[in-house]
């Protein structure tokens, strides 16, 4: 694989932790929400094994918050998602597909209600802040939309529990999955959720004060020595094996939430008001003709820059959207949009790269 550098610029925003992670052995960045997002430290395989056994601190400041405040804040947030938010509670996180007026995917954020009229929409990679501003002014809503200086640190891995308890106190380990609360550290208060983009357990710390965040960052590393803490980042292998979807990779604005398997986050029956509801009612009547599934391919490496076509003889099976070599399955594993007639898991397919054809099979998400 040919390697290139990423040219830094103000436009490609750094995070409060950039200088820390760069001196701690960062080897690759990607971009996300016009910001730098670490992609590798010791190489994704080494990072993967470490994540599954120990604990990592991730700079995921690129998971930007769209903050919505005002009398119409709940109305505006509900307008953007097909998940029913009418009963949401302060202190819980909600994974929710955002869709457009055609019922097509825009983003898949985690939504937090901070108080009666204050919300954070913790974004994947697309410009939802601009969309929300457009809706608010076009519909004359009393809702102020902004991007506050919130820079998330994720603490992920099986030992995250022990590290967090040591640094933030016993109470933090009582958090339930997708719950959040505030915890003090050296005179500052941090919003901490039991969440994160891995299935290895962990927490996310929504840092609102940069200096306090850097102190906490350093403390996590000094207190974490006994747990073999390392800097890390969302890991391509782990997230594909775990079936965590990536906006812009696995799905984009051409796909609807049913095709992405988001059925349980869609409510077209209640009288809630969201854009694209009519389109989703129509789609649910017709049923989808394709959906995201997992695949395994007999290859020992792959590079993904664009989607790749999967064939069965001359017939089209689907599009491979993300893929990586998995040391666990000892094959390439991936996420693909598969045509309905091939959902039957016994079908195999071929993938042609260069002049080489490889065989693959289809399975359910997540891979087991």
- Residues lying near ligand THG in the complex (CB under 6 A) are found at 63, 95, 108-110, 122-124, 152, 178, 195-197, 204, 244-245
Cβ 122 to ligand THG, closest distance in Å?
3
In angstroms, rounded to a whole number, what is the distance separating the alpha carbons of residues 329 and 331?
5
Cβ 183 to ligand THG, closest distance in Å?
16
One DSSP character per residue, 76-139 reads HHHHHBSS--TT--TTBEEE--EE-TTS-EEE--EEEEEETTEEEEE--SS-HHHHHHHHHHHT
φ, ψ dihedrals at 230, nearest 5°:
-140, 160
Q: Which is nearer to ligand THG, 108 or 255 (CB)?
A: 108
In angstroms, rounded to a whole number, what is the distance separating the alpha carbons of residues 46 and 40?
9
Q: Which is nearer to ligand THG, 72 or 108 (CB)?
A: 108
DSSP 178: T
Q: Which is nearer to ligand THG, 123 or 275 (CB)?
A: 123
Tokens of 325: 């070599």
**Do 38 and 233 form a contact (C-beta atoms < 8 A)?**
yes
Cβ 155 to ligand THG, closest distance in Å?
12
Residue entry with tokens 């995917």: 105
Cβ 358 to ligand THG, closest distance in Å?
28
Q: Which is nearer to ligand THG, 124 or 292 (CB)?
A: 124
One DSSP character per residue, 148-171 reads ---EEEEEESTTHHHHHHHHH-GG
Cβ 216 to ligand THG, closest distance in Å?
17
Residues in the chain: 368
How many other β-carbons are positioned within 10 Å of the β-carbon of residue 164?
A: 25
Q: Which is nearer to ligand THG, 149 or 298 (CB)?
A: 149
Q: Which is nearer to ligand THG, 40 or 63 (CB)?
A: 63
Cβ 261 to ligand THG, closest distance in Å?
9
Cβ 229 to ligand THG, closest distance in Å?
19
Cβ 262 to ligand THG, closest distance in Å?
10
Q: Which is nearer to ligand THG, 194 or 360 (CB)?
A: 194
Q: Which is nearer to ligand THG, 109 or 231 (CB)?
A: 109
**Do 61 and 210 form a contact (C-beta atoms < 8 A)?**
no
Contacts 24+ apart (CB under 8 A), 74-77: 74/113, 74/117, 74/119, 75/141, 75/143, 75/273, 76/132, 76/135, 76/136, 76/141, 76/143, 76/145, 77/111, 77/119, 77/121
Q: Which is nearer to ligand THG, 197 or 342 (CB)?
A: 197
Residue of 227, 225, 222, 220 lying closest to 204 (CA atoms): 220
Q: Which is nearer to ligand THG, 65 or 256 (CB)?
A: 65
Cβ 294 to ligand THG, closest distance in Å?
13
Q: What are the residue ranges of helices labelled H in the chain?
A: 18-23, 44-53, 73-80, 128-138, 160-168, 210-223, 236-242, 277-286
Cβ 96 to ligand THG, closest distance in Å?
8
In angstroms, rounded to a whole number, what is the distance separating the alpha carbons of residues 123 and 145?
14
Q: Is 310 helix (H, G, I), strand (E, B) or coil?
A: strand
């Amino acid at each position: 694989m040919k390697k290139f550098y990423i040219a830094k610029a103000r436009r490609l925003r750094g995070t409060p932790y950039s200088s820390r992670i760069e001196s701690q052995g960062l080897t690759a960045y990607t971009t996300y929400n016009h910001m730098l997002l670490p992609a590798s430290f010791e190489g994704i395989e080494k990072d993967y094994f470490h994540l599954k056994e120990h604990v990592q601190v991730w700079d995921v400041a690129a998971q930007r918050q769209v903050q919505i405040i005002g009398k119409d804040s709940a109305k505006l947030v509900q307008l953007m998602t097909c998940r029913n938010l009418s009963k949401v509670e302060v202190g819980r996180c909600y994974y929710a597909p955002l869709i457009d007026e055609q019922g097509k995917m825009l983003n898949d954020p985690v939504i937090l209600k901070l108080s009666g009229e204050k919300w954070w929409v913790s974004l994947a990679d697309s410009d939802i802040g601009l969309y929300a501003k457009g809706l608010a002014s076009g519909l004359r809503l009393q809702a102020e939309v902004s991007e506050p200086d919130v820079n998330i640190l994720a603490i992920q891995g099986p030992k995250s529990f022990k590290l967090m308890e040591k640094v933030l106190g016993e109470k933090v380990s009582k958090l339930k999955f997708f719950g959040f609360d505030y915890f003090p550290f050296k005179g500052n208060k941090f919003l901490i959720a039991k969440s994160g983009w891995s299935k290895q357990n962990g927490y996310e710390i929504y840092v609102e004060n940069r200096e306090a965040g850097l102190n906490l960052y350093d403390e996590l590393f000094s207190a974490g020595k006994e747990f073999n803490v390392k800097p890390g980042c969302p890991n391509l292998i782990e997230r594909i094996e775990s079936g965590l979807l990536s906006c812009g990779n696995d799905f984009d604005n051409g796909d609807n939430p049913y095709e992405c398997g988001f059925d349980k986050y869609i409510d077209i029956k209640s009288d809630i008001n969201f854009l694209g509801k009519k389109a989703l009612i129509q789609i649910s009547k017709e049923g989808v003709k394709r959906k995201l599934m997992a695949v395994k391919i007999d290859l020992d490496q792959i590079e993904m820059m664009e989607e790749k076509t999967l064939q069965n003889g001359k017939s089209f099976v689907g599009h491979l959207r993300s893929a990586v070599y998995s040391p666990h399955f000892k094959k390439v594993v991936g996420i693909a949009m598969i045509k309905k007639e091939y959902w039957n898991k016994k079908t195999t397919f071929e993938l042609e790269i260069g002049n080489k054809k490889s065989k693959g099979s289809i399975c359910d998400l997540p891979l087991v």
